[in-house]
Each structure stands twice: as C-alpha cells, then as structure tokens.
Amino acid sequence: MIYTYPILVALFSFLFLNEAIPLIGYIGMIITVTGVVMLSTRLKKLSMNIIIALCVLVFVIAVSEVLIKVATTRIDPIKGVVISSAAIGLVMIAGLFVKKIRTDVKGEVRNLPIAAMGSVLFYAGAGTLFMAMMSMPATIVASIAAIQPLIVLIFERIVDQKLGKISKDMLLLPKLGAIVLIVIGVVMIYIAELIRI
C-alpha cells in the first residue's frame, strides 16, 4: 500500500508546484502503481490500525517527495541530502530516550556492519532522488521510485536461491502480471518524459 504514494505526489505537484505531465505519463503512473499494489498487497492479513498507519505513511512520503522537489529548486542537491540526513539522525537519536529501544542497543552492536551498508545505500538513494528531482517532475520521479518492491523481489529471489530456501512468496510466476504492469507503466512514464522534453 505504501507505494501508492505517487498518486498523492501527482496531485500535490499539480496543486502546489503547477507541474503537469502529458496524459500518457499519468496513465503510466496509474498502471505502475496498480502493478506495485498487486505485487505487494496482502490486505487480508492487515488490521484496521495497520491500514490507517499505512495511509498516514503514504501521506507523509508524498509530502516529503514534494518538499524534496521544492528544496531542489532552492538549494544544491548535496546540501539537501545533508539536511534530510541530519533530520533523520535527530529523529533516530530521539529514539534513544525511549526505554524499550534503549534496552537492546548493546545487542544491536553486532549488526553495525549491516547498518553501515544500509547507511551507504540510503545516502546513495537520497542523493539520486535529489538529483532526479532537479531535472524531472516530482510525479515522474515518484512513479519510477515506486518500482522498489520489484527490485526487492529480485534481490530476495537471489538471496533465497543462494540460501537454498524459496518460499511461496518468492515464486515469480504468480507475480508476472504485476511485473508486466510495472514495466509497461514505467515505459509510459519514460515516454511522457521524452514528450515533455
């Protein structure tokens, strides 16, 4: 459900940034989001509280993407990454004041190499997001970024093959329709960007 945020980004970008893309781009966005939702949804297993929390998260991500677009029109992308990283760091440090989080900090030390790798990937992702927002409409960037579940699915499949455990969730054939929709949607978004240029 989280990856439905490009729809809100498109709405906010249209309303607040006066961004408009060719119709084929909006159609591609809807097709991409449909494929992503089909790929990652298990709504039957979610409680109403989790669905509400996910809806709030979708809203927050959409607002964040629009604010990143606004930031790229006013500051250098590297400065934007630094500012957003500092803000995330402050939120994470604030978590240390919560006793439940603090109790297992020592146990998490063994995960520092994985956390360091995650941080490197985060900075690479944030940097490319800011760079993309500089030259493309927020709607297109958000729609392309929404294919993340497809990438995660591929990496999960590779890891599962290396470990020798392939669960039913990792089977690609049942997800082929969703994958095809994502690919078609992204191609349409790309065509919209070519038309816009």
**Whether residue 67 has pLDDT greater than 60:** yes
Least-confidence region, from 27-31, 34-38, 82-86, 135-139: 34-38
Whole-angstrom distance between the N-terminal and C-terminal Cα of the chain? 31
Section 65-77 average pLDDT? 86
Domain that holds residue 31: 2-196
Which token pair is 108?
């998490």
Percent of the chain exceeding pLDDT 90 equals 0
Section 176-195 average pLDDT? 80
Distance CA 103, CA 96 (A): 9
Which residue in the block uniquely carries the two structure tokens 């490197």?
120
Which amino acid makes up residue 165? Answer: K
Whole-number pLDDT of residue 172: 61
Is residue 78 very low, low, confident or very high in pLDDT (cuts 50, 70, 90)? Answer: confident
Angle (CA) 5 22 10, round 5°: 20
Q: How many CA atoms lie within 13 A of 18 on its CB side?
A: 0
Tell me the three state secondary structure of residue 143: helix
Which amino acid makes up residue 119? Answer: S
Distance CA 88, CA 80 (A): 12
**Whether residue 197 has pLDDT greater than 70:** no
Find out whether 175 and 40 touch, Cβ atoms under 8 Å: no
Find out whether 186 and 32 touch, Cβ atoms under 8 Å: yes
Domain count across the chain: 1
